[in-house]
Amino acid sequence: MNFCSDNTTGAAPEIMAALAEANAGQTMPYGEDALTKRLTARFGEVFETDVAVFPVTTGTAANALSLALMAPPFGVVFCHREAHIAVNECGAPEFYTGGAKLKLLDGSDGKIEAETLAAALAGAGAGDVHHVQPAALSLSQQTEAGTVYGTDEVGALCEVAHGHGLGVHMDGARFANAVAHLGCAPAEVTWRAGVDVLAFGATKNGALAAEAVVVFKPELARDLGYRRKRAGHLLSKMRFVSAQLEAYLAAGLWLKNATHANRLAATLARGLAAVPGAEVIHPVHGNEVFVRLPEPVIAGLLADGFAFYRRGGENATTLRLVTAFNTRAEDVRAIVDAARRHGRSAAQ
């Protein structure tokens, strides 16, 4: 059983069915098909406002394209020190923006605080020709620590950002998990709180390869079509990406899947917390559990065939375990039971 990431899973049956259905007949390519066209309206309903929607196949593309709409080559994007865009995208933001800088901010539990952002902006050299210029704030929702920003927290951050003329990007690779946790309307934690562009993820939560750049400010979307094409992210048979997104949004699949994953992560966290010597190190809001375990427990779990990532290198004892839309309750039970067993052995 593999708890390394939610992208170790395949796709949800509803998504596979949508693909099969989309395969019938001929359509115009490059998003000029009816399915893609109606997707914009569908997203508009979900977000209760007019949006521009640009489907792509990876979260890295969605993030980097979003940032390129807001940050000029001499711009700065403020983000958390552990942000995916900073750590795990091999410089995609720099590539797509033409060389903008990321300014890394500290913050506990994966979150930036509004005060931290304000302080960073105060010292950022805005208007000084020797300094790169503040351009955007990037928030991950859910964060890289598995936590979720409250709508008020997003609002406070956006207020600081907009007060300094910055655009706001939300990396929503696990946006569904965040919304499922908050139980709020998607609009509440995005544009109503001040988010300008959302990289809306579906892949980790049941799609094969489907993300969308959702733009809440029409003027920001003007160049996006050219930038997407130029980056090689305009698929000729776009209907196959759009079909995934449509099915994902239909009948609440996206929230159903995320709720399932979140619930099992909570179960997992509770279970592991009871292991002697264990410490859950971040609040578990979504589908990720960060837990410190005694090395003998880790060794035992690995020997049992469980898979997960160590956080911070080969011998680190902090683990990240991720649940997915199709993680089974018995698998969570199995790893918890095994951990407890190894914990008791170690304690003796």
- State which of positions 156-195 bind a second copy (CB under 8 A): none
The CA distance from 207 to 202, in Å, is 5
The CA distance from 143 to 147, in Å, is 5
Question: By the 8 A CB rule, do 214 and 51 touch?
Answer: yes
> For a second copy, which stretch binds (CB under 8 A), given 65-73, 249-257, 259-267, 298-306?
65-73
- Terminal C-alpha separation, the chain: 27
47 lines the binding site for a second copy (CB under 8 A): no
Contacting a second copy (CB under 8 A), which of 46, 87, 126, 346? 87
Contacting a second copy (CB under 8 A), which of 35, 36, 59, 79? 59
What character string, x for contact with a second copy (CB under 8 A) and - otherwise, covers 88-127?
xxxxx-xxxxxxxxx--------------------x----
Q: What does residue 137 show for φ and ψ, rounded to 5 degrees?
A: -115, 135
Residue carrying structure tokens 């997707």: 39
Structure-token pair, residue 264: 């099992």
Structure-token pair, residue 13: 């049956």
- Cα 203 to its chain centre, rounded Å, is 10
Contacting a second copy (CB under 8 A), which of 184, 187, 231, 281? 231
Shortest spacing between CB 342 and a second copy, in angstroms: 22
218 lines the binding site for a second copy (CB under 8 A): no
Contacting a second copy (CB under 8 A), which of 120, 132, 180, 284? 132
Tell me the one-letter amino acid at 120.
A
131 lines the binding site for a second copy (CB under 8 A): yes
Shortest spacing between CB 73 and a second copy, in angstroms: 6
Give Cα separations from 169 to 11, 65, 301, 331 (angstroms).
27, 10, 38, 35
> For a second copy, which stretch binds (CB under 8 A), given 110-118, 228-236, 279-287, 298-306?
228-236
Shortest spacing between CB 98 and a second copy, in angstroms: 4
